[in-house]
Every structure is written in C-alpha cells, then in structure tokens.
Amino acid sequence: MAESFGSDAERYDQARPRYPQAMVDRIATDGPGPDIPDIPDIPDVLDAPGILDVGCGTGIAARQFQRAGRTVLGVEPDARMADVARRLGTAVEVATFEAWDPAGRHFDAVIAGQAWHWIDPVAGAAKAARVLRPGARLAAFWNVFQLPADLAEALATVCRRVMPDAPFDFRAVTRGGPDVYQPILAKAADGIRAAGAFGEPEQWRFDWEWTYTRDAWLEQIPTQGAFTQLPPAELAEVLEGVGAAIDAMGGGFTMPYTTVVITATRTAPA
C-alpha cells in the first residue's frame, strides 16, 4: 500500500494537511551545533547537507523545513511522488530507505512524516544512525485526526457497506485520536532502542485544529490509505455518504489534530 499514494500525487500534495509550525521550528533549530566530537568518519559540519526526509512523498514536510531555512534531501520509493516533490523544489532520490545509498553523506537530522511505519523499525533506525552526526536527531511524526462523532459514524457506516471485507475496524479507524497511533509509536521507539545508537526515545505532542469545507474534506479522503485503491464506483459511494453527513453539519466542520513525534538523539560512537 505504501506506493499506492502516488496514484494521484497531485491531489495528495494539495489535500494532505501540513505540520504544525511549532514542531517544524523545534526540529529545525535543534542539532549538534559546531562543538561536536572530532570523529574521523564524520565529515566536517560544513559538508553536512542539512536534513534527510525519509519517505518524503510530494515534499510537504520538506518544503516546511526549507521555509524554516534548512536544506533538505528527500528519499522516496515512489517515482510519481518524487516527481511532484522535485517540481515543487525539493531534491529527491528514488529508493526505499533501507536500500538507499548515502554515498558517505551525513546529516543534521533525519525526519519522516507519515512514513516511518512503512520502514523496518530496527533497520531504519540503524540506517539513520549511520548518516546522522553525533548529537543530531531522528524524528518520525504523524498527523492524527479525530473526526466529529456524527461524521465518524457516517463514514464508518458507509465504509462497512462498501468494503465489508476490509481487514480493519472502521469504527476504530474513523474514531481516530492519538491513542490509535500508540502501537505505531511504541514500535518505532522499540526499533530506535534496538539500534543501540541513540539516547532514550522521547514522545512529543502538538495539538492544533483545522476547519474543512465539505469539498476540502472530500478531496482528502481519496489520498488516505484505506481508499487509494478503491474502485471509482465504490469511492464515489463513500464520498456521497460522507458529503451528505457534512451537509447535515452545515457544510463544514473543525477537525482536532494531534501531531505525534517519536524522536531520539544520535549518541557519539564509542
């Protein structure tokens, strides 16, 4: 499913939510600084090309970090998504992170927005450790939304009708909220610990909200994992049901979001 998002990369880039500026600023201004240990296999600070964005997609997070003054290189397995990111100003190399060749480069931070759960948590953390300077940060983050109760129920109802054989509980998925992501966060933290090259993982949380019109939310639904491969007729039925529910709410709604971050700092090699 990871590469299904590229089926409509332009829509993905336009519809998907951005990340809170407070999170971007916290990561962008963090780092080892100039007084790092003199380690022979780590290039000088001036050679470090900034931030590595793993699973960068169309460059949504990358552009936010670029606007914060950081240089960003993306790694993305889907060439369609990478093409959009490049066109919008982000340098991207097409590969899975596990297979990507860093070619001796080292970075001030490794980030992953909505992507780390597609990566082997131990191999990914070990690869990040290889390319991070001592004191630099690995930060994987996800936007978690919580639909209003009436809209969540309407979406769950139409999804159960349209996709009766789906391998997950639509009621739990549509309810949303940070608790739904705890297994993903725990798995990421365990992978970082297993890599053995980081300090103890931390979990950060940023709460915010966004107001959607009916059309704006219906534009985002086809970019979500459960719907990216849904046949057009079934997708139209989902959108019709959800659209009717939003109309009943007055044509729009405010969505509470939480951006959750698992992060750890690269320790100096022994």
Q: What is the pLDDT of residues 178-234, one digit of tens each?
A: 777 889 999 999 999 999 999 999 999 999 999 999 999 999 988 887 787 788 999
Q: What is the pLDDT of residue 48?
A: 42
Distance CA 151, CA 30 (A): 39
**3-class SS of residue 13:** helix
Q: Which range among 42-51, 160-169, 202-211 shows the weakest confidence by mean pLDDT?
A: 42-51
What pLDDT does residue 41 have?
43
Res 170: pLDDT = 65
Q: What is the pLDDT of residue 6?
A: 53
Q: Which residue has the higher pLDDT, 71 or 30?
A: 71
Instruction: List the one residue out of 133, 126, 71, 58 whose CA is nearest residue 97.
Output: 126
Q: Which residues of 12-27 are buried (b: 16+ CB within 10 A; e: fewer)?
A: bbebbbebbeebbebb
From residue 124, how far is each of 66, 69, 199, 202 by CA, in Å?
Answer: 23, 26, 16, 17
Domain boundaries, the chain: 9-147+176-210+256-266
Entry pTM: 0.87
Rounded Cα distance, 138 and 176, in Å: 25
- Which pair of structure tokens corresponds to residue 119? 């990566």
What's the confidence (pLDDT) of residue 43?
38
Instruction: Give per-residue pLDDT as tens, 58-111.
Output: 999 999 999 999 999 999 999 999 999 999 999 999 999 999 999 999 999 999
Residues 44, 98, 27, 211, CA torsion sign: positive
Give residue 164's pLDDT. Answer: 84
Is the pLDDT at 133 greater than 80? The verdict is: yes
In the prediction, which pLDDT does 46 show? 36
Task: Enter the tokens of residue 59.
Answer: 């460059």
Strands (E), 119-200: 132-145
C-beta separation of 255 from 189 below 8 A: no
Q: Cα(23)–Cα(236) distance, rounded to whole angstroms?
A: 35
SS3 state of residue 88? coil
| pLDDT at residue 241, as a whole number | 92
Give the pLDDT band (50/70/90) at residue 252. Answer: very high
pLDDT of residue 178: 74
Interacting residues of 49 by C-beta distance below 8 A, sequence separation 6+: 71, 73, 105, 107
Q: Provide the pLDDT for residue 217.
A: 94
Class of domain 9-147+176-210+256-266: alpha beta
Q: Please check the confidence at residue 153 and state whether its pLDDT lies above 90.
A: no
Which residue type, as a one-letter code, is found at position 261? V
Work out the average pLDDT over 230-254: 93
Q: Summarize the confidence of residues 156-171 as an average pLDDT.
A: 78
Check residue 199 and give its pLDDT: 97
Task: Give 133's contacts (C-beta < 8 A, 6+ positions apart).
Answer: 32, 36, 42, 45, 48, 106, 107, 108, 266
